[in-house]
Structure 1
Amino acid sequence: MADRGAFEDVEAAMMVHPADADLENITSLAIAQAQVVYEGRAAHPAAAPEQGLNALDAMVLGYVNVAALRQHIAPTERIHGIFNESGDKANIVPRRTSATWYVRSPNRAGVQAFKERLTACLESGAAAAGCTVEMNWNPASYDEVVETVLFWIAT
C-alpha cells in the first residue's frame, strides 16, 4: 500500500496484529523474507546416480548450516525456514527444490547482516552438492516497530 501512495496524505496510521492477549503496545523485530531456489540435475538414483546433482541435498545442507548458525545468533534475532518443494518422486534425484526463509533482528542494520549470514549458509549447501542457488529477497522488508510516544499524546 505504501509503495502505491496510500499513505501520502496520512499523518498517522495504525497497524493491528492479532495476539493471544490484550496489549496496549508492543515492539516487533525488523524482518526480511527470501524465496530460495536450488537447481541441480535429475537422474535415476538406481540406474545412474552419478549423473545427478541433488537439489534436495543442497537444500538440506543449507538448512543444517542454518541450524548450526542458530547457536551463534543474538537472543533478539530469529530465523525461520520451510521447504516448499523437495522433488517430485522418490526414485528421481531432485533437479529443483525451493524454500522460504525469514530473518528477524531488532533493526534494519541487523537484518542486513543476518541476510549475509543466511546467504553464506545456503550457498555453502549448494556448493557442497554441486548445485546452484538463487535467492530473491522480497523488497517489502519491514523495519522494527517501536511504540511512538507522540502518537499516544496525539490521541
Structure 2
Amino acid sequence: METGNLLAVLSVVTIVAGVGIGSMVWAYVGAGSQEVLFKDPILVDLLPTTAAINALQQGCLEYQAGQYQRAIDSFNQAILLDPACAEAFHNRGLSWANLRRDDDATLNLVKASELYLARSDRPSVEIIKQNLTALKARKVARETAKSKKSPKVG
C-alpha cells in the first residue's frame, strides 16, 4: 500500500473513532439521547444538614443544568445515604425520563410514591401521578408516530 493511501485510511479510521468516542462521551454526560419532559426537579425545603440532603441538592443543581446523568449519580448517592428519601427517587425518575429511559423512570417514580404514601404526603403522590401520566402520553405519542412511519404488511 502506498504511503498516501495508508495515511488516507488512517485518517478516516481516526475520524470515525473520534466521532464514536465523542458521541459516547456526549451521551454519558447527559446531552445525548434526551428529551426534556420534566424541566424542574423536586426541591427540598430542608437545610443541608446531612450528607444525603447535600447529595440531593447537588443532584438538583445538576438536573437544573441539564446534566441528567450526573444528577442521577448524585441521586444514587443520596439514596445510598438515605434509602427513604422519596425526593431522591422522584428526581432520579425525572432524570431517567429526560434521558428517554422510561422504564427506569417509572420504577423510580413508583418507589417515590410508595415512600411519599408512607409519610402521608398526598400532594407529592399527586405530582407523581401527573409525571406518570406524562410518561404514558409520550410513550403513546412515540408508538403512534412509529406506527405511521412503518409500512403496513398486508
Normalised by the shorter chain, which TM-score bucket?
A: under 0.3
More helix by share: 2
More strand by share: 1
TM-score by length of structure 2 reads 0.26
Q: Higher relative contact order by CA 8 Å / sep ≥ 6: 1 or 2? A: 1
